[in-house]
Amino acid sequence: MPPSSPHSPLPDHPGPRRRSLLGAAAAAPVLASLAGAGSASAAPAPASDGAAAGRRALPGGGDLGPNVIVFDPSTPNIQGRLDEIFKQQESAQFGTGRYALLFKPGTYHGLNAQLGFYTSVAGLGLLPDDTTINGDVTVDAGWFDGNATQNFWRSAENLALVPVNGTNRWAVSQAAPFRRMHVRGGLNLAPDGYGWASGGYIADSRIDGQVGPYSQQQWYTRDSSVGGWLNAVWNMVFSGVEGAPAQSFPEPPYTTLESTPVSREKPFLYLEGDEYRVFLPEKRTDARGVSWGHGTPRGTSLPLSGFYVAKPGDSAAVLNQALEEGLHLLLTPGVYHVDQTVDVRRAGTVVLGLGYATLVPDNGVTALRVADVDGVRLAGFLVDAGPVNSATLVEVGPEGASADHSANPTTVQDVFVRIGGAGPGRATTSLVVNSRHTIVDHTWVWRADHGEGVGWETNRADYGVVVNGDDVLITGLFVEHFNKYDVQWNGERGRTVFFQNEKAYDAPGQAAIQNGSVKGYAAYKVADDVTEHEGWGLGSYCYYNVDPSIVQHHGFAAPNRSGVRFHGLLVVSLGGNGQYECVINDTGSPTSGTDTVPSKVAQYP
List active site positions.
502
Amino acid at 296: T
CA distance readout (Å), 35 to 28, 280, 352: 12, 11, 22
Closest to 218 measured CA to CA, from 495, 17, 380? 17
CA distance readout (Å), 587 to 195, 569, 570: 33, 11, 11
- Rounded distance between C-alpha atoms, residue 419 and residue 454, angstroms: 9
Is residue 591 within 8 A of residue 601, CB to CB? The reply is no
- Rounded distance between C-alpha atoms, residue 482 and residue 538, angstroms: 17
Closest to 112 measured CA to CA, from 147, 90, 158, 81? 81
- Rounded distance between C-alpha atoms, residue 585 and residue 33, angstroms: 54
Give the number of other Cβ atoms within 10 Å of residue 605's Cβ: 14
- Rounded distance between C-alpha atoms, residue 473 and residue 262, angstroms: 8
- Rounded distance between C-alpha atoms, residue 217 and residue 200, angstroms: 9
Residues with Cβ < 8 Å from 309, sequence gap 6 or more? 60, 61, 62, 63, 64, 65, 330, 332
- Rounded distance between C-alpha atoms, residue 355 and residue 352, angstroms: 10
CA distance readout (Å), 43 to 118, 289, 347, 437: 31, 24, 9, 17
What is residue 316's three-state secondary structure? Answer: helix
- Rounded distance between C-alpha atoms, residue 125 and residue 330, angstroms: 18
- CB burial class (10 A; 0-12, 13-18, 19+) of residue 368? buried
Pairing of strands 254-257, 235-239: parallel
Closest to 367 measured CA to CA, from 328, 395, 327, 331? 395
